[in-house]
Each structure stands twice: as structure tokens, then as C-alpha cells.
Amino acid sequence: MAIRINDNGTERNMTSAEEAEYLAYASARQAEAEAQAEAQAERAVLRTELLTRLGITSDEAKLLLG
């Protein structure tokens, strides 16, 4: 299925070069979003482990850090 594009107010199908560029861009953005989500999840796990080792809750950590 061709991907549609609005080219200066005119709807048309993307050329094969435009479609390849768009799909590469979309794939890169998806990979970036997945990497960010993975990093955020890893930070959450590390934060939880640290709080457990310190024996405090996240609310207590917020009070200590301001």
C-alpha cells in the first residue's frame, strides 16, 4: 500500500524514494523511543534497588533531597 503525502496542498502517493526515506526515519524514531523507554525502566529499577538498600521509601528520599 502506498503512503499518502500532502505536497503543497495536493494529496499524492509518495515516490519509492520518499517512502524509503520516511520508513527509515520512522524506524529510527521508533528505535530511539524504545531505547529511551528501556533506559527509563532501568533507572526506575536502580532507584528502587537503592531505596531498598538504604531502607527508605521514595517519599522519605524526596524529603531528604528537597
pLDDT of residue 2: 87
Q: What residue has cell string 531528604?
A: 64
- What are the residue ranges spanned by the domains of the chain? 4-65
Residue 1 pLDDT more than 90? no
Q: Name the band, by pLDDT with cuts 50, 70 and 90, for residue 66.
A: confident
Give the tens place of pLDDT for each residue, 4-63. Answer: 999 999 999 999 999 999 999 999 999 999 999 999 999 999 999 999 999 999 999 999
3 HSE (CA, 13 A, CB side)? 12
* The C-alpha cell that represents 59 in the structure block: 517519599
- What region does 28 belong to: left with phi over 0, alpha with psi -120 to 50, or beta? alpha
